[in-house]
Structure 1
């Protein structure tokens, strides 16, 4: 019997190289992505899994590896790509990409995330695909976009040369489940006694503004407080980008519209506030006052619409009157008239800030007209770490007069 050929292992070895190459995850993912684009196949989790299974050598993939690869491809084609796992983390509120560096915020400030991009071109393609999913254009002719993804995530992207070391990509997550006050207490945003105060403000139908810096939790707190509104009341929301989703049975929302590619079709918040007044609101809410629409909001709250609310960017509670003045001037409202409108329309200011431990309610204040010119000033009623303040008794009296319970945190100042 002749001996076995010594060259037999050669062909086997030659075949092993291509097999390993065919099963390389990045290569398989690239082929599947190209096939979806070329064939125009509808991207669904099931269709992606089928496409991966159809790849040569896929039978050698284990179930875990195959599903992981399918998730990656689906994210590249329909989701946020390599950023999808970060956005899915319930602790993450913001994901930021500078060039190829990724940063995230879990409520305790920004921290660097592991690298997931290999080149700026990869970030650019992801940003353009996300913009296209919002029906928006992002290219050299229009190098920036501010939009809302189908799942509610807020998208902002800037491309070079506007972005000097970009592309830059900013994503703010949207959680479908609104927080309850007990959730905010557990997270340390409010204390148990302060939660009682916030409930009393809603029960008393006092109009309030929530102020704070970017990412301080204004929308989260407003969402939570609106969930406390009685179920037989109608809430009308006016927002630049729909972010508020209170847990309430009767909520309708109006969202501003930006110009199309031809530069027409803009519908601003001011016009939406005027439309909202015709929709029989029990509570009128402007998601964020950032321009002349503050004049329309003040006018609306002075026509019998109690319990209205809104948010406002401000560094400190004492800066709010000046901030409102600046916005009022954009709407052509003189300073004395603006302060008269504020005094009559809004009673309470809730200010938030970012602390080393996370987002916290820093102060609850009253907006009180003072002096010969009756200019509105901010008078604290409660402050973090100090408890009841000079205006505590006034706020307690306002709650009692409107049939709401006097919260324990103000009881010391009640007389």
Structure 2
């Protein structure tokens, strides 16, 4: 069916009184329509050709800037592109047309140089990003949690779930994962801490990384997976693909929400079951959030050594209680879960974030113990101070023994 082309007003022939924003919107609509009519992919060349056909009074650098802006609006993140491409930006949050917040590693600060024309522009961007991620976002399902093609994590919520305006949360994915050496340089841990964590990975101990939101759990897990032997096969199960370890043999499984008919959902629990059939040398669950904890603990109790995961918890000591709550979602008896937990998990690595400086760091390592009634608990093996000090705790001997049993000798820290 032929497409009837509407007339457009660009900056070359816009009626008097038209605002700059209106002219820009009209130009964008005109270029989008020409690309759609031609069935062209919005590359720089195609956008330039479509733009020239509209004959705006542009030339030289102005034309290049306009092409870049139009491509950003068509296939990028619009006005947020400059922030997402900055090397020091970790998070970009949009609360409204003129409320953009940025984290550059030192906590959130308001970005006054970036904004949107109105709330509808924010909503439109949320729709487009969700589509690019292959996810649904509309009034029937007013939120989305997905991974964009470049690795950026997207979370968007539409009104009326949030008031006034669509809210966007974008977490930038580093193209190259951090190494332990880089984390040491950033102050995330002392050199002795990196050596200790490297020994735990070589010993194939099962570990769980705990901490609050934004403490760097995924970053540390990716760095540790980069230390896994090159001959080992890593199978990762995640709700949305985040982990990108620097390793030659990684298999990634990603969950999927249900479609409009409520069908086709793939839960993390489904993924863990499939991962166990894919001959993993290291089974990794990106984040334990629910009933999948039962499959993970069962796997770690049946010969799958060196498994890893992350979990939200306030302290390392809270991890058994947190896992107990998650296990109850699957109907797992309290004592059964604690029994499996003591046998399956070797180490809890806890991360914190300094609220004043925004610095993320490894705070402590705990080992698992059982109490007199059979419930699992944790005891500190090593504590890392903000000044880089390393202090051994009552769990040190158990940690050192577990590693020695697998041929890895841990260097003693400073008391």
- Kindly report the root-mean-square deviation, in angstroms, between the aligned alpha carbons of the 2 structures: 2.3
Secondary structure of 1:366 counterpart: strand
Aligned residues of 1:98 and 1:165 also touching (Cα < 8 A): no
Measure how far apart 1:353 and its partner are.
1.2
Per the alignment, residue 101 of structure 2 pairs with: 103
Per the alignment, residue 184 of structure 1 pairs with: 183
Q: 2:69 aligns with which of 68, 72, 81?
A: 72
Per the alignment, residue 319 of structure 2 pairs with: 320
Aligned 1:38-49 pairs, distance under 5 A: 39-49=38-48
Per the alignment, residue 374 of structure 2 pairs with: 374
For 1:314-368, what per-residue CA distance to the aligned partner results, in whole angstroms no more than 9, with x for missing partners?
1111211110110011111111111110111001000111113311111111111
Aligned residues of 1:259 and 1:266 also touching (Cα < 8 A): yes
Is it true that 1:284 corresponds to 2:288 in the alignment? no
Secondary structure of 1:274 counterpart: helix
Secondary structure of 2:352 counterpart: strand
Q: 2:410 aligns with which of 396, 400, 406?
A: 406
TM-score (norm 2): 0.89
Per the alignment, residue 397 of structure 1 pairs with: 401
Measure how far apart 1:393 and its partner are.
2.5
- List gaps (5 residues or longer) in structure 2: 1-11
Between structures 1 and 2, the one with greater helix share: 1
Is it true that 1:194 corresponds to 2:193 in the alignment? yes
Change (3 A) 1:99 1:411: closer
Q: Quote the Cα distance in structure 2 between the aligned partners of 1:246 and 1:300.
A: 22
- List gaps (5 residues or longer) in structure 1: 1-14
Per the alignment, residue 383 of structure 1 pairs with: 383
Aligned residues of 2:232 and 2:281 also touching (Cα < 8 A): yes
- Quick check: 325-334 or 350-359, which moved more? 350-359
For 1:365-392, what per-residue CA distance to the aligned partner results, in whole angstroms no more than 9, with x for missing partners?
111112x212111111111215222222
Aligned 1:17-36 pairs, distance under 5 A: 28-36=27-35
Per the alignment, residue 297 of structure 2 pairs with: 298
Q: Quote the Cα distance in structure 1 between the aligned partners of 2:277 and 2:290.
A: 21
Q: What is the number of residues matched between the two proteins? A: 394
Aligned residues of 1:25 and 1:69 also touching (Cα < 8 A): no
Q: Quote the Cα distance in structure 2 between the aligned partners of 1:314 and 1:56.
A: 58
Change (3 A) 1:25 1:66: farther
Is it true that 1:363 corresponds to 2:369 in the alignment? no
Q: Quote the Cα distance in structure 2 between the aligned partners of 1:17 and 1:285.
A: 57
Secondary structure of 1:398 counterpart: helix
Q: Quote the Cα distance in structure 1 between the aligned partners of 2:265 and 2:14.
A: 58
Q: Quote the Cα distance in structure 2 between the aligned partners of 1:67 and 1:197.
A: 51
Change (3 A) 1:258 1:18: closer
Measure how far apart 1:51 and its partner are.
2.6
Q: Quote the Cα distance in structure 1 between the aligned partners of 2:283 and 2:179.
A: 21
Measure how far apart 1:17 and its partner are.
10
Aligned residues of 2:147 and 2:242 also touching (Cα < 8 A): no
Q: Quote the Cα distance in structure 2 between the aligned partners of 1:325 and 1:301.
A: 16
Aligned 1:154-303 pairs, distance under 5 A: 154-303=153-302
TM-score (norm 1): 0.89
For 1:250-285, what per-residue CA distance to the aligned partner results, in whole angstroms no more than 9, with x for missing partners?
111111111011111111111211111111111101
Q: Quote the Cα distance in structure 1 between the aligned partners of 2:299 and 2:194.
A: 28
Measure how far apart 1:25 and its partner are.
6.0
Q: Quote the Cα distance in structure 2 between the aligned partners of 1:124 and 1:203.
A: 47
Aligned residues of 1:22 and 1:56 also touching (Cα < 8 A): no
Measure how far apart 1:227 and its partner are.
0.4
Per the alignment, residue 9 of structure 1 pairs with: none
